Amino acid sequence: MQIVIRAGGVGSRLWPLSRETKPKQLYALVSDKTMLQETVERVLPIAKPEDIYVSTGVVSEKEVRGQLGAILENNLIIEPARRDTAAAVGLESVIIHHRDPEAIIASIGSDHQIKDAKEFQNVLKKTEQVIKKNPNHLVVIGIKPENPDTGFGYIELGKEKEKGVYEVKSFKEKPEEKKAKEYVEAGNFLWNANNFVWKAKTVLSLFKKHAPDIYKQLMIIEKALGTPDEAKVIKEIYPKIKKEAVDYTIIEKTDKILALIGDFGWSDIGNWARLKEEFTELEEDNYIKAAEHIDVDSKNTLVYSNTKKLIATIGLENIIIVETEDSLLVCDKYRAQDVKKIVDELKKQNKKKYL
């Protein structure tokens, strides 16, 4: 099995720390190693280095190479432009398919916290066996929901095909709170953690069927692989690929999809509120990461700073404060998802230095 670690996202809900040139997966948020480094280490016990790829954007290439050193020197997939996950999955699929037409790919995130690495490895190995039995299927690894979270998409499970392997009935968009509660109470819904396992040629066949324009562009790239024009063609064609998510483009359009439940202590550090929850036992507890901090009577508050300034807080409740050298974010903890709106506004105002 070939493992592709997707590290091309921006992580805009963790602005102002996470930026286009250095997104969240390139920071050490939960340990002394970056999330990307942790992800690579997590899969090394079940895959040879030559079978592990990291897919990232051209603006992050230098930082990624610096963090990984020589271990994956020849296995970086560089995206010349930010075109969302359909283009990224298409590019990784044609590159690996060119090297091995029968390759099975595990396409996993680089920005997830996983507490039980051994169980994660066991689930990946099981998905490989499921694909060998069902080569025309896709497999998604979902997470049993702990609460009605509105920040995740959901997977509706159908009947159990074999022990621990379920048919997927449908995918649900990020729901309103009422609907999320219904999903959790129903008992047959999983959080969609966006970890997939599939054969490269199966993915390409789905692009051909459901996204023919993208497929044609991918085939132009594939013809150039291994030739002196490879880099030139990728740089020319990739930015022209339609910008959309792989979920909507192909995954949700096939009925040949199975799900496994991942019970390995998964969490998505998708926004500042989730980062706080990772470090605090009680909701009312504060999480502070700053050079110096003094507080009087605050609760359920996060203070995160990579500057040398003293930060003093008084009587705060449910507040997030994040300071970098050039920016300061102050927001209601329960609106942490909306930090992305600030990033969108910065783009509208063309304030590129803050992106």
Nearest partner of 314 among 323, 303, 325, 304, judged by Cα: 303
Mean of the per-residue pLDDT values of the chain: 94
**Where are the extended beta strands (E) located within 301-340?**
302-305, 310-314, 319-323, 328-332
Both 285 and 232 in one domain: the answer is no
Both 250 and 309 in one domain: the answer is no
Both 142 and 81 in one domain: the answer is yes
Both 345 and 259 in one domain: the answer is no
- End position of a domain, from candidates 243, 268, 293: 268
Q: How confident is the model at residue 151 (pLDDT cuts 50, 70, 90)?
A: confident
Q: Is the pLDDT of residue 260 over 90?
A: yes
- Quote the tokens at residue 341: 């709106």
3-state secondary structure of 80: coil
Both 215 and 262 in one domain: the answer is yes
Kindly report, residue by residue over 199-256, the tens digit of the pLDDT.
999 999 999 999 999 999 999 999 999 999 999 999 999 999 999 999 899 999 999 9
Range of the domain at 185: 2-268
Q: Is the pLDDT of residue 174 over 80?
A: yes
Taking the C-alpha atoms of residue 124 and residue 129, their distance in angstroms, rounded to an integer, is 9
Both 284 and 255 in one domain: the answer is no
Both 103 and 11 in one domain: the answer is yes
- End position of a domain, from candidates 219, 238, 268: 268
Q: Which residue has the tokens 């966006």?
A: 194
Both 315 and 344 in one domain: the answer is yes
Kindly report, residue by residue over 124-143, the tens digit of the pLDDT.
999 999 999 999 999 999 99
Least-confidence region, from 147-151, 182-186, 197-201, 305-309? 147-151
- End position of a domain, from candidates 268, 285, 309: 268
Both 206 and 288 in one domain: the answer is no
Q: How confident is the model at residue 73 (pLDDT cuts 50, 70, 90)?
A: confident
Q: Is the pLDDT of residue 198 over 80?
A: yes
pLDDT at 51: 94
Structural domain total, the chain: 2
Rg (CA), the chain: 21
Which of the pair, 288 or 70, is modelled with greater confidence?
288
Please answer whether residues 26 and 124 qualify as being in contact, where contact means their C-beta atoms are separated by less than 8 angstroms: no
The partner residues of 79 in beta bridges, in order of sequence, read 57
Both 306 and 182 in one domain: the answer is no
DSSP 317: B
**How large is the angle between the packed helices 84-99 and 200-210, nearest 10 degrees?**
130
Q: Is the pLDDT of residue 70 over 80?
A: no
Cβ contacts of residue 146 below 8 Å, gap of 6+? none
For the chain, what percent of residues have pLDDT higher than 90? 88
The partner residues of 155 in beta bridges, in order of sequence, read 171, 190
Both 248 and 286 in one domain: the answer is no
Both 21 and 121 in one domain: the answer is yes
Q: Is the pLDDT of residue 120 over 90?
A: yes
CATH of the domain at 31: 3.90.550.10
